[in-house]
Structure 1
Amino acid sequence: MPTLIFQIGKFFLQCLWFFLPIGFANMAPVFARKINFLNVPVDFGYSIAHKRIFGDHKTWRGILAGVLIGECVFLLQRFLEQYPVFTALHFTSYQTLPWYFGALIGFGAVFGDLIKSFFKRRKNIAAGTSWIPFDQIDYILGGLIFSLIVVRIPLSAWLTILILGFLLHIATNHIGFWLGIREQRW
């Protein structure tokens, strides 16, 4: 029984470890919003059928921040992998993954968010209004799908990462709201 509990715990930690660059990439645009560099909407203000493509809140600055933070977190994980405690936390050796893997899944995370925003605009859901569960899983799906370009992880890991990411997203948004970083709780 202790071995089974250990294996389940290890699996959850591996899922969390794989999720970290995706999760931080998703948070990066929020922390970069005070930077004026590239504060230009991705859709450049264009509309389709009188509806903005993505809206003012989706900027090139946010995309760049997500890609850079995703890459930085991955490179930190890759560095930490030299220590045995961190070696157990991955599905595959991060040393064998290409150096740009973090940027790739970071881009996947912000791309997933863009796709969701596109559909929110089509459904007349205002920017900043919650669209459960899509607001909580869009970036996770984007990051995981883009990870397929380089690495395969078990389907059970995908499902676990989606659930963990969903719960962590809710928790971090609530904390951000209480700290005054976010305007919306959800």
Structure 2
Amino acid sequence: MDIFETIVVALWAMLPAYVPNNAAVLAGGGRPIDGGRTWGGRRVLGDGKTWRGTAVGIAAGAVLAAILNALAPVVVRTSDIALPEFPLAAMFALPAGAMLGDIAASFIKRRTGRQRGAAFPLLDQLDFVVFALLLTLLAAPAWFGDVFTVPVLVVIVVVTPLLHLVTNGIAYLLGLKDEPW
């Protein structure tokens, strides 16, 4: 697999994990997951982590994976790039893991005294990736091993922080986020 194909496969395979947090921002609002509870004098997660946002994020990622499955044969025929098709377990594990990673990062931010929206370099950019990959490894280990080769993982770790900053910057400019990170 050449570098171009590796990048395409990495982005294709991670799209269902990249979309959930953006969908959650758009769907935001509703009851916070932590119900307003505190721990050690600080909110457990904060108002930014809601049941509706989490459900919409997971659903958006799973629907996107289904759409990608439908598109894969067409793209493969026209480009000769071997794109992975998502098994059902991966269709849900990638977006659910992404949302869990974002929730875990919120928990860590609260424990370290950071307010909602405060920057936390690397954690902000890679939390959802780590959890999406771990949950997918557990849910669909054979598929994970076939798709997430070392070169693909390297591309994901390098490209994701850049994509994260760009998409959050756009959301900030559109007034969908209060901060550009």
Tell me the TM-score normalised to structure 2 length: 0.89
Q: Could you say which residue in structure 1 is the equivalent of 2:160?
A: 165
Please tell me whether residue 53 in structure 1 is matched to residue 48 in structure 2.
no
For 1:162, give the aligned amino acid. Answer: V
For 2:68, give the aligned amino acid. Answer: Q
Q: Could you say which residue in structure 2 is the equivalent of 1:107?
A: 96
Q: Is the 8 A contact 1:21 1:73 kept in 2?
A: yes
Moved more, 46-55 or 79-88: 79-88
Q: Distance in 1 between matches of 2:99 and 2:88?
A: 19
Matching residue within 77, 81, 100 for 1:88: 81
Deviations 1:17-44 (A, max 9, x none): 11111110121111112xx6xx111111
Aligned length: 173
Q: Distance in 1 between matches of 2:48 and 2:112?
A: 17
Q: Is the 8 A contact 1:19 1:165 kept in 2?
A: no
Quick one: structure 1 residues 32 and 102, their matched pair in 2 at CA, closer, same or farther if it must change by over 3 Å?
Answer: same
Percentage of identical aligned residues: 28
Unaligned runs of 5+ in 1: 1-5
How far is 1:175 from its partner? 1.3
- Larger helix proportion of the pair: 2
Quick one: structure 1 residues 8 and 122, their matched pair in 2 at CA, closer, same or farther if it must change by over 3 Å?
Answer: same
Q: Could you say which residue in structure 2 is the equivalent of 1:40?
A: 31
Quick one: structure 1 residues 179 and 115, their matched pair in 2 at CA, closer, same or farther if it must change by over 3 Å?
Answer: same
Q: Could you say which residue in structure 2 is the equivalent of 1:21?
A: 16
Unaligned runs of 5+ in 2: none
Q: Could you say which residue in structure 2 is the equivalent of 1:139?
A: 128
Structure 1 vs Structure 2 CA RMSD? 1.7
Tell me the TM-score normalised to structure 1 length: 0.86
Q: Distance in 2 between matches of 1:122 and 1:107?
A: 23
Q: Could you say which residue in structure 2 is the equivalent of 1:179?
A: 174
For 1:159, give the aligned amino acid. Answer: V
